[in-house]
Amino acid sequence: MAEYDYDLFVIGAGSGGVRASRLSASFGARVAVAEERFLGGTCVNVGCIPKKLLVYGSAFRQELAEATEGYGWSVGDVGFDWSTLIENKNREITRLNGVYADLLDGAGVDRLEGRATIEGPHAVSLNGVTVTAAHILVATGGRAFRPPEIEGIEHAITSDEAFFLEALPERVLILGGGYIAVEFAGIFAGMGAEVCQLYRGPLFLRGFDDDLRTHLAEEMRLAGVDLRFERVPTKLEPSSAGVRATLDDGSVMEADCVLAATGRKPYSGELGLERAGVRLASDGAIEVNEYSCTNVPSVHAIGDVTNRINLTPVAIHEAICLANTLFAGRPMAPSHEAVPAAVFSQPPIGTVGLTEAEARESTAEVDIYRSTFRGLKQTLTSSASRILVKIVVDRRTDRVLGAHMVGHEAGEIIQGLAVAVKNGLTKSQWDSTLGIHPTLAEEFVTLREPASAD
């Protein structure tokens, strides 16, 4: 008779939890996964997937404008129906929920509904029943955060609710300077709403390359977004128009909707982690070692709840490594170096590797290759939008340390370049690669003279 009911009990059926469950089961482990909300986690339900669908929907307005101005297209009356988009989005998310269920069932994983809590190093309680497991994996992700210091913050929605608004607000006030705030600013503005974004710092997207941050701010202002840095609300209150916001300079704004896109926090509270003796960081993140194991050998954590790099592919990578470590006899530590990322702002950002500031801190000699130019597509229009591409190079080794872009399909382009950066290709090797003409991407292999150097 087995010592435990399961070899692995997973709390959270997001991207990381599902991958860990399926792969562990394929290695012969007896696995159960519990989910209290929806299969697929944040990414599928209130994150990557619905967000990108809304980005697609909002981008058509500018596409139509350019098509009629520069490319000879003539269209009749143009209208937009928010409810149609949301209905279609909801249908696709429901389909994906079903796909995840089928994948788990097909892998032989016991799929449980409800909130699971940890009762001890090897015990989990769910719906009044306690089961045991040799290993417990916490993959509960994060939850949207409202800053409590703002009086009346309960009158603001978070990104979770933004995906289910019954109507498109005409005036939107967005709080925050992270990628979620930037992306929703583009979404609402692209759909025709009047958008104002407030951020407490001097420039949004902290942690990204400074040239990208500055360039995107210019592009967003060109698109009509009212960006106000070093400005925050001190009070929100209901008004006849929706919500009234009093800012820290004493000015007052009215909006139909206030979106608090002020970050997400690890969802680690009230899970019973303290009963097992699991250590948490000050921000609530579960502390883990390089193999995603907590200070309790039988309890593990991956994904956003560990607050390492909060990206879906990272959570999946951590899941793959953990399953191999625990059940395949192949210890694997996930790599968090040269992780590519995109911000689906309008225009989007793509980035991989070191920023210029990070490179200058890590090496004494850095060359910066940079180009700002007008995309061919915009040359037949009056658009003032410009593309930015940038490469960071270690002069001593010629290795490309980072590649960054703001412009159409930046995420798609950087994905390919991530292979080169991850594998340490040199600037000379980039230069020896022929470009595809005419494309935006070719600029990365035609940059010849450094824009600046140490």
DSSP string, 375-436: -GGGGGS-----EEEEEEEETTT-BEEEEEEESTTHHHHHHHHHHHHHTT-BHHHHHTSPPP
Confidence of residue 436 (pLDDT cuts 50, 70, 90): very high
Spatial separation of the C-alpha atoms in residues 161 and 92, rounded to whole Å: 17
Choose, from 135, 155, 336, 437, the residue flagged as catalytic.
437
Backbone angles phi, psi at 195, to 5 degrees: -120, 130
Q: What is the average pLDDT across 227-237?
A: 98
262, 285, 310 - which closes a domain? 262
Query: Which residue has tokens 């000050």?
Result: 282
pLDDT of 454 reads 57
pLDDT over 50 at 283, yes or no: yes
pLDDT over 70 at 453, yes or no: no
- Which structural domain range is residue 25 located in? 6-48+84-143+265-327
CATH of the domain at 375: 3.30.390.30
Q: pLDDT per residue over 289-301, tens digit each?
A: 999 999 999 999 9
367 lies in the same domain as 418: yes
284, 299, 327 - which closes a domain? 327
In terms of C-beta density within 10 A (0-12 exposed, 13-18 middle, 19 or more buried), how is residue 420 classed? buried
Supply the pTM of this predicted model. 0.96
18 lies in the same domain as 124: yes
230 lies in the same domain as 270: no
Q: Is 317 a catalytic residue?
A: no
363 lies in the same domain as 442: yes
Q: What is the average pLDDT across 108-113?
A: 98
pLDDT of 1 reads 39
pLDDT over 80 at 125, yes or no: yes
pLDDT of 78 reads 87
Average pLDDT taken over every residue of the chain: 97
The closest alpha carbon to 190, from 219, 160, 161, 211, belongs to 219
* Percentage of the chain modeled with pLDDT above 70: 99
Q: What is the average pLDDT across 241-270?
A: 96
CB 153 within 8 A of CB 237: no
State whether residue 152 is helix, strand or coil. Answer: coil
Query: Which residue has tokens 């899941």?
Result: 319
pLDDT over 50 at 399, yes or no: yes
416 lies in the same domain as 350: yes
Q: pLDDT per residue over 336-380, tens digit each?
A: 999 999 999 999 999 999 999 999 999 889 999 999 999 999 999
pLDDT over 80 at 2, yes or no: no
